[in-house]
Structure 1
Amino acid sequence: MQQRSASSTTPHSSTIDPQELAAQEQLDQGTEALAQGDFPKALEHYKHSVQIKETSIGYYNIGVVQYQLRDLAGSISSFESSLAHTPAGVKPTLPDPTQPLPELSPALVILADTHTNLGAAYILTKPPQPEKALEHLQKALMINPDDGEVCYNLAAVLEATGELDEALVAYERAQKLGIQRAELNIKNISAKILGKKREEAEKAQSSGGSVSASDVGPQQGGAA
């Protein structure tokens, strides 16, 4: 869960829109309250902001507070509203693989965080909705492919849904991106994959089938 709040993602216009200014003031007051740990007051200011003018940032901040208050259904609704109000020009572009990744604009950072937070909320709902969680975590990685935490979270959901090979790849990438705790996951999931292949080999043998040694060989990053 990305917990940062935002006050603005666009430069202030030289032509002041009174409605926009009033909404911004409520955002600023909400962020101040959030920094002081006053979640109800922050939520009140953020909701007042979107009542004045609906913005992606306003709904995003509402979702952050609702998530902290464990209102998962409310946070999902707010984050989805944030996505719906994202300006049309704010969208990820395919990076040049030969060049370093460009720095994300503030609006893209919020967009990536929104998808990340939706992934976390959907996996914590009862019952969990892993398909939706995977969808949003994958979109977050499209925007910021070097976010190791998101990659780790994606791997965890893939593992939980039984997609072990894909999960292993994601854990290995997370480790390369600096998430050191992924090392233990790599060992554990490699052991799971090996055990699954052994089980399949035993079933094949008991049913008269045949397997090759490569079918049950150790996987990359196998368990110690």
Structure 2
Amino acid sequence: MSQDSFDQAVSSGYAVITSDPSSSSDPTLDRALDLIESGTRSLEEGDLDAARASYKDSLRVKETSGGWFNMGVCEYHLSAIRVSQNPQAAIVAWEKSIGLSPSADAYTNLASAYILSTPPQPALSIKHLTLYEKAQAGGIERAAQNIRGVSAKLLVKRGDAKGAP
């Protein structure tokens, strides 16, 4: 993957593959990573159903943190445009991603999803925000930028809960 492709993928908010899949000695991992890439292309094109199908196929081949992370992103977008406004499927996917390999981005997404859930779950949001802050202390890049966004969402929700204008 070229540096430009890597930079673009990181800025898009999707999990990226940082090594050439052909360098893996695990053919199931190679296939799973190919399916993640296919899903990400579909997601970038706005085809959420195709993206979801690719991510599901990837997870059937081999469960990876990146597969679950991207499934969460896809499910979150689907919950926003379809009948269900509650991002529970996204929450489950991001929790599975963290279970395989904790990432600051997954903690941030969980914090956001919990605060935007119906009903909002601020205690769980704060829990994941705290875990994210620990990740920031551990040197994870972009943590400060993302944490400000989640903190702003929390402040807005707290203001709404108190009846603030």
Alignment TM class, shorter chain as reference = 0.7 to 0.9
**1:193 match:** none
**1:84 match:** 99
Q: Is the 8 A contact 2:35 2:58 kept in 1?
A: yes
| Structure ID, larger Rg | 1
Q: Is the 8 A contact 2:32 2:59 kept in 1?
A: yes
**Is 1:112 equivalent to 2:104 in the alignment?**
yes
Length-normalised TM-score, structure 1: 0.55
Structure 1: tracts of 5 or more residues without a match: 91-110, 163-224
**Percent identity over the alignment?**
34
Length-normalised TM-score, structure 2: 0.73
Superposition map of 1:19-168 within 5 A: 19-70=28-79, 72-86=87-101, 111-144=103-136, 147-154=144-151, 156-157=153-154, 160-161=157-158
What is the root-mean-square deviation in Å for CA atoms of aligned residues?
2.6
Q: Is the 8 A contact 1:3 1:64 kept in 2?
A: no
Q: Secondary structure at the match of 1:33?
A: helix
Question: What amino acid sits opposite 2:148 in the alignment?
Answer: C
**How far apart, CA to CA, are the structure 1 residues paired with 2:156 and 2:72?**
27
**How far apart, CA to CA, are the structure 2 residues paired with 1:148 and 1:23?**
30
Displacement after TM superposition at 1:68 (Å): 0.7
Displacement after TM superposition at 1:9 (Å): 4.5
Q: Which structure's residues are more often helix, by fraction?
A: 2
Q: Is the 8 A contact 2:24 2:30 kept in 1?
A: no
- Single out whichever of 144-153 and 77-86 deviates more from structure 2: 144-153
Q: Is the 8 A contact 2:36 2:58 kept in 1?
A: yes
Displacement after TM superposition at 1:35 (Å): 1.4
**How far apart, CA to CA, are the structure 1 residues paired with 2:66 and 2:24?**
20
Question: What amino acid sits opposite 1:147 in the alignment?
Answer: A
**How far apart, CA to CA, are the structure 2 residues paired with 1:153 and 1:4?**
15
**How far apart, CA to CA, are the structure 2 residues paired with 1:152 and 1:28?**
27
After superposing on structure 2, the runs of 4+ consecutive aligned residues of structure 1 that deviate more than 3 Å are 9-15, 158-162
Question: What amino acid sits opposite 1:45 in the alignment?
Answer: S
